[in-house]
Each structure stands twice: as C-alpha cells, then as structure tokens.
A and B are shown apart, each in its own frame.
Chain A
Amino acid sequence: MMQLNIPDRDYLNSGHVGCPGCGATIAMKLALRVLGEKTVVVIPACCWSIIAGNYPQSALKVPILHTAFATTAAAASGVRAALDMKGDTETTVVGWAGDGGTFDIGFQALSGAVERQEDFIYVCYDNEAYMNTGVQRSSSTPYGTRTTTTPGTEWKKTRKKNIVEALAAHRISYTATASIAFPDDMMRKFKKAMEMKGGPRFIHVFASCPTGWGVASELSIKIARLAVQTNMFPLYEVEDGVKYTLNYKGNRSIDEYLKMQSRFKHLTEEDIQTIQEMVNEDWQLLLRKIGP
C-alpha cells in the first residue's frame, strides 16, 4: 500500500448529528485529514448543513460558510476572491455539496465557476437523492430507485446523470471519483487535488446513506465497496478532461448490491438485468476513454 504521509489529526468533532453509518460524514472526516486546518468549507443546504451543527456549535474545526442551496460554487468563488485579495493563497477553499446541490440546483453555478477557472476544490458527496428533505429523487438517483417522489410503480425510469463526464467536458484540470470504502484511494485524490492549485478541481464521492437506502448502518461501507466492485460506481480520474486513469476494475454482478437495499427491493429479475446491461454499457464506454 502507498504511504500517503497524512497526519492523523481530525477536524471533525465527535457529537455531530450525522445518522449512524452516514457516508457523507465519513467522507468529510477523511477529506479534512488531508486538507488540514488551512481550509475553509462552503456548505449549501444538504444533510451536511445539519450535521455541521446548530448555532452556536460547530462539528468542524475549520471555518464553515453556510450558503443557499444553489450557490456552493458561487459562494466558494467569492471566498477565494477575498482570500486572494488579502494575499492568502495558502488556504484551500472547498465547496462541499450533496448530489442535489451539485447535479441539480447548483449545477449552473458550478458550471460557471469551472469555466471561470475558479481556484477551489468542489466535492460532491453523492447519496443519490435529496436526503435532508426526506429521500426525494435527484438527477443523481439511479434508474430503478424508489424514492418518496418516485414511489410505487413510478420508481425512477431515467438514468443517473454522469456528473464527472459533464465536468470533464468543461476541460477541468482534475476530476475524480472516490469512495468512502476506499479511503487510501480517496485521500490520495484529495491530496492530489489540494496540490493542484490554480483552478477548479472536482471530486465526486460516493457516500452511502443507510437511512435513505434502506440498509443497516453497519453495512454502509460494505455497500459503498460493492458499488465499486460491481462497476456501478467506477473509481477513476480525469485530467484536463481528456487523460483518463482507472483506479479499480470491478467484476461482480450488481445483483447482490441491489438486493441489499430496500430502495431497490421492488425490482424484478428482468429489471435487474436491464440495470446490469446499463452498467455494462457505461463500463465499456469508460474503458474506451481509458484506452489500452
């Protein structure tokens, strides 16, 4: 295993109000270990705006700017501009948003900031729905999922939006996927992103949500690992929108992954087969971009 030389100091206080097994909380803990104390975190409306704590407490030992739902990338751009004007180029500005805040309502601001080459790291912790408001579908919710707004037979019939490819199309200098089940890989990516100052960097973290997905909290990491092992959520990096690197090759069928979660329990074997074909197709597409 690669030595990352990351201090074991934590910037997440105990006593936060994340659900047991919350993947988004684990992701923050790991990320801040790498990013360290010279970090400002910008958080929009999402589970993390709750986890971070009520006035006058804070779950983080670094400054947080809470901001409106759609504004992560814009607010982070402003913080960066202020720090730059004060001559502080050392501090890392991190936008930390959910999938809803990134794929949907905050997408315009993100796209704008990336095109402007704003110097920050944008992290999307992806739990595949609007969890804070009670598990409504987002454009990150995968095909086949039941949510409170895609209930019963109206389970989601459209694909998950591919955010990393959308970012790659902006020719962003660095974008990567990461998973809480692969902490070394994830922390390496945060370290790399942190060191690539001067432009936007985007990390898409798969963050399981036992509460919203209908999985026992102790299986949070296992389910996140299975997502990678089944190629539902491949681990890879893209530099400058063109240079692809694959970090893990999965080979398991999606069967076990889907059947562990009550959000998929309505699916027939045929539906599962359809999803498997979609996963295979996306995987082949990715391999073509990775090249030989």
Chain B
Amino acid sequence: MKKVIEGSHAVSEAVRLARVKVLSAYPITPQTHIVESLSEYCADGSMDARFMCVESEHSAMASVIGAASGGVRTFTASSSHGLALMHELLHWASGARLPIVMAEVNRALGPGWNLWMDQTDSLAQRDTGWIQLYCEDGQEVLDTTIQAYRLAEMVNLPVMVVLDAFFLSHTYEPVNVPDQEQVDRFLPSYVPRIQLDTANPCALNQMAPPPVYMEMRHSTQMAMEQVPRLFKQVEDEFFSIFGRAYGPVETVLCEDAEIVMILTGTAASTCRQVISDLRSKGEKVGLLKLKMFRPFPTELIRKILEPIQKVAVVDRNFSFGASGIFAQEIRAALCNYPEHPPVFGYITGLGGRDVTPEILEDIYWRTRNNATPKAESQWVGLDQEIVES
C-alpha cells in the first residue's frame, strides 16, 4: 500500500513488518521519530514485542546484545553522540556474530552542538565489524531495513541502515509499504545459530587468548567476504516478490563517462539532476551511488572506475589530518591498479549545510578543468569571511 510517510516511519514500518521481538533505544534527535512510532506500535499491540526504554545508548546496544544472545530478533536506532557512546558495544555485537539491525541517522558531532546531516558519526564506526548500508530515499530505507534482517541472519553479522538527518529522516515521501504476508514470505522467522540455553549451557563471548583470537577475527572477515554474494541473493529474492532492487552500488550513465561523481545518501538524488543537466550540455559525466560501505565493494568499484578518466568523490564527512573518508576508501580500492584514474576529493555539506546542485556543478567543473587534484581534499562552499576571521 502506498503511504506518504517520513523516512523515520519507513524504518519503523519495516521493523514492524520484520516481526522484531525486542527493541531497545535511547532518544536522540533526529532518531526520535523512529523510536516514538515503534513505541506506539508496541503499545497498540500492532507489534508483539518488548520495547525497552533504557537509560543510555550504551545500555541500548548492550541490551539488544543480551536479547539477541537470548535468540530473538532485535532492533535499535541511534545517531551521532548516541552512536559514539555505543562504540564499545558495536564491537561486541559483531564479535559475538549477532544479527542485530540498527537504524543510524547521520548527524554531526559536537562541539558545537549540531543536529544536522553529517556522515562522520557512522563512518567513525567503520572498523567495528558492522555491515553499513546508506540509503537515498524513504522507499530504499524501508526496503533496506527489511533486507537487512535477511542478510544479517544469513551471515550472522550486524547491519547498520544509514539515513540522512532531516533530508531523509524527516521528509515525507510516498512509500510503498508491503503486505505482512509478502514480507513473511521474504523474511522467515529467526532461527538463531547459537543462543543462551539452559538445556545446552555454553559460555558466550568469553576470554579468547592469543592462540584463538586471531582466528575468531578472521572468521568475521570470512563472513564479511560472503556479504556481496549473499546481498545479491537477498536482493534477487526481494526483487522477485517486491519488484525493487538497489545493488551495493548504482551507476548512472557511467558507461561512456569521462568523469564519474561518487555520492551517498540524499545528495545522490541531487546529483542525478546535476548529471542530467550536464549531459544535456554535452558533458560526459556519470554518477556512482555508493550504498554498501562495509564490506567495501572494492572489486565492483574497480571494474566501474578503471576505464574512467577522473573520479570526483563528494564527502559529507571528514577524517582530521587525512581526508574525506569515502575518498580514502576509493583511493585504496584503486591503488593496486597501475592505470587508475586520479581521485579528486571534495568536502562539502558538513553539519547540515545543503549540498546544492550549484555545489555539485562546481565540483564537476573543478574536476573537469584540472588534470590532477590540487589537494587530497578540497573544501567546497566554505564562507571565506568566517574562515579568515
């Protein structure tokens, strides 16, 4: 059924349809609409689940880890400072190989307090062993959340479904909300691989000394390496029921492109328009929308970018002392190719600043008019008056 809903509600509709049993969360703007609606579903009985109103994000993640270890499907949601507070537990969730799904609304970190869109919060968690999937619109948020459970439970790894603060979390769009019966067909009930069971007592997450620790971490990586194949399988099955698929990356007009712009989230939507405008002026430009960040789709990206002349990566995030994080990853994916295109890195849209078509066009022309990048990252849209004051 088509409904006009917020991105946040696309998450909660999906979580309800996934028949999650235990939810635990702590409110933080701009994630609150997700947990408020889920609280309502639990209260009105449209969800048969326990909602735990814990006293912090650290406890939110710890309690879903406890519940997932108890063998049920779980969910939490957070953002920014909340995600940072969870950091320790993110390692526990993946190390324990628990199929927890979390919605993460990209928001800037303080100080100064800033409630708005910025990807540094989720990207700072890149080494915690979570699958990360970035979404562009409400439909993709809903579909990805449902798919996330299927994928997580196939590989026994946690999944972070990432959406932009406000631009997506608080924007109303028409979203096709599927029937429960269809979702049940796609997502069978959860059968845990291992769980706390008094009939079969095991110790979970215990001390792992040097002779075994490395093998444990290696096995997590082996699972990560299964993800591209399994994600394809999940998407194919999803497509056969719902008629929609996204892919770990999406390319728009890349085949004959000389310059490819790489974006994530809602800014990719803006870029679709920019690409089409530039094409009508005869510019050979394409878009690569990156959805899957962990595991990083290295092979796929190499194949797409190898014949391209220049790559422009637009980062709404920054790693101080280095560069934009997506740009780093793209460079790393290409560096073992002798003939790879130069990677231009652009920083823009931090802390909720809009990434306008003008900014993206500016980025395109800067890339077009320079043979090589002037710097690892160029900041676009800075207010020079403030910078110099």
Contact = CB atoms under 8 A, between A and B. Distances in A.
Contacts of A74: 54, 58-60, 62-63, 66
A85 interface: yes
Given A63-B202, A75-B63, A78-B24, A55 B50 contact: no
A12 interface: no
B65 A78 contact: yes
Interface in A61-91: 61-68, 70-71, 73-86, 91
Contacts of B212: 55-56
B328 to A, nearest CB: 29
A243 interface: no
A85 B196 contact: no
B299 to A, nearest CB: 33
A113 B63 CA distance: 10
B163 interface: no
Contact of A67 (B56, B66, B70, B200): B66
Interface stretch (B175-183, B203-211, B300-308, B369-377): B203-211
A96 B68 CA distance: 19
B66 A109 contact: no
A64 B204 contact: yes
Contacts of A81: 22, 24, 50, 52, 63, 66-67, 70, 72
A74 B60 CA distance: 7
Interface string A87-131: 000010000000000000000110111011000000000000000
A40 interface: yes
A37 interface: yes
Given A75-B63, A82-B68, A86-B71, A65 B204 contact: yes
B277 interface: no
A74 B85 CA distance: 14
A27 B73 CA distance: 34
A63 B66 contact: no
A49 B209 CA distance: 13
A180 interface: no
Contact of B55 (A52, A62, A84, A109): A109
B206 A64 contact: yes
B204 to A, nearest CB: 5
Q: Is the interface of B mostly helix, strand, loop or mixed?
A: mixed
A54 B206 CA distance: 6
B230 to A, nearest CB: 25
B265 to A, nearest CB: 30
Interface in B208-245: 208-209, 212
Most buried by B among A82, A85, A111: A82
A109 B197 contact: no
Interface residues of B, number: 42
Contacts of B50: 81, 84-85
B11 to A, nearest CB: 20
B190 to A, nearest CB: 11
A60 interface: yes
Contact of A85 (B49, B63, B201): B49
Interface string B265-297: 000000000000000000000000000000000
B196 A40 contact: yes
Nearest to B56: A108
A108 B85 CA distance: 14
A155 B64 CA distance: 40
Interface centre among B92, B198, B202, B208 (most CB of A within 10 A): B198
A78 B204 CA distance: 15
A250 interface: no
Contacts of B69: 65, 75, 78-79, 82
Contacts of A56: 212
B62 to A, nearest CB: 3
A78 B92 contact: no
Contacts of B205: 65-67
A68 B88 contact: yes
B187 interface: no
Given A37-B198, A81-B52, A68 B204 contact: no
B59 A50 contact: no
Interface string B68-80: 1111101000000
B206 A83 contact: no
B53 interface: yes
B207 A54 contact: yes
B205 to A, nearest CB: 4
A38 interface: yes
Interface centre among B56, B59, B197, B212, by most A CB within 10 Å?
A: B59
Contact of A82 (B54, B70, B198): B70
Interface in B18-72: 21-22, 24, 49-50, 52-56, 58-60, 62-72
B67 A62 contact: no
A78 B66 contact: yes
B63 A58 contact: no
Contacts of B197: 63
Given A78-B24, A112-B56, A66 B62 contact: no
Contact of A52 (B62, B68, B71, B206): B206
B313 interface: no
Contact of A76 (B60, B66, B74): B66
Nearest to A55: B208
A150 interface: no
A96 to B, nearest CB: 13
Contacts of B201: 37, 58, 60-64
Contact of A108 (B55, B66, B88, B209): B55
Interface of A: 37-40, 42, 49-50, 52-58, 60-68, 70-71, 73-86, 91, 108-109, 111-113, 115-116
6 contacts: A52-B207, A62-B198, A77-B59, A77-B63, A82-B66, A82-B70
Given A54-B207, A63-B201, 7 more contacts: A55-B207, A63-B196, A63-B202, A74-B54, A74-B66, A78-B62, A108-B59
Return the 9 tightest CB-CB contacts between A and B, nearest first.
A78-B66, A82-B70, A112-B55, A71-B62, A78-B63, A74-B59, A74-B62, A75-B66, A78-B67
